[in-house]
Amino acid sequence: MSHAGMPDTAMVFAAGLGTRMRPVTDRMPKPLVEVGGKALIDHVLDRFAGAGVGSAIVNVHYLPDMIVSHLAGRRKPRVVISDERDLLLDQGGGIKKVLPLLGEEPFFVANTDAFWVEGPTSNLRRLAGAWDPEKMDALLLVASATTSVGVDWPGDFSMDAEGRLARREETAVVPFVYSGVGIVKPGLFAAETREVFRLAPFFFAAAERGRLFGVRLEGAWMHVGTPEAIAEAERAIARSVL
């Protein structure tokens, strides 16, 4: 951890196929789709740079050369490319591949379609400020399902008064969605032997243990998962800037 409990490394997921974003992603990877005049991946990396995070590990698989060349000029945070060209490892597998780089310290995870207009203070700083390794295995930035843009599902989590998250039951509607950003302990994956595996089940298992917590995002969160959501996000940005 760097100053004031801020993780110094972020794992940024940029390897996915972006199938829901077709036809836009037929010619470019989803992380390079522009919203508000800036590529989605740059919105995320700029947030980390602003919060003082030193390095970002970015995994690539689909149209990888475009992402590598796009990030070549970036200095903050320092970008390390994790090459998954041969095999798409999914988010859990992507983390496992770079565990030697991550070391023992907690690290950020970030989807590249997670995009938000900041509230009064940095949400990443708020997340880092709430991190308590004694009682948490993972801490997720969660957003209000009803006020967020592009949320077309019945939420992900409910949250108790202490900030503990519980997974949505199949038939239920819950108030919070996972924003795609969190802080995770590397030890969660230490015993994992599979090469390709998802990240979400590790969150759900932590919730079962009472060790998954949430911080509510301040500002406006947008899920840019489809071509329609690009225009919706552009409108939300315009509203927030006025």
pLDDT grade for 222, boundaries at 50, 70 and 90: confident
**Average pLDDT for 186-191:** 93
Question: For the residues of 65-99, what is the DSSP string, one character each?
Answer: HHHHHHHTT--SSEEEEEE-SS---HHHHHHHHTH
Sign, CA dihedral 35-147-23-231, equals negative
Phi then psi for residue 129, to 5 deg, are: -65, -25
Q: Is the pLDDT score of 64 beyond 80?
A: yes
pLDDT(1) > 50: no
Peptide bond into 154 cis (omega under 30): no
**Average pLDDT in the 112-137 region?**
92
Cis peptide before 106 (omega within 30 of 0): no
pLDDT on residue 3: 42
pLDDT digits (tens, 9 = 90+) for 205-215: 999 999 999 99
pLDDT above 70: percentage of residues in the chain: 98
pLDDT at 217: 95
Domains of the chain (ranges plus CATH)? 3-241 (3.90.550.10)
pLDDT exceeds cutoff 80 at 178: yes
Left if phi > 0, otherwise alpha if psi is -120 to 50, otherwise beta: which for 228?
alpha
Which pLDDT does position 2 carry in this prediction? 41
Residue 21 has pLDDT above 60, yes or no: yes
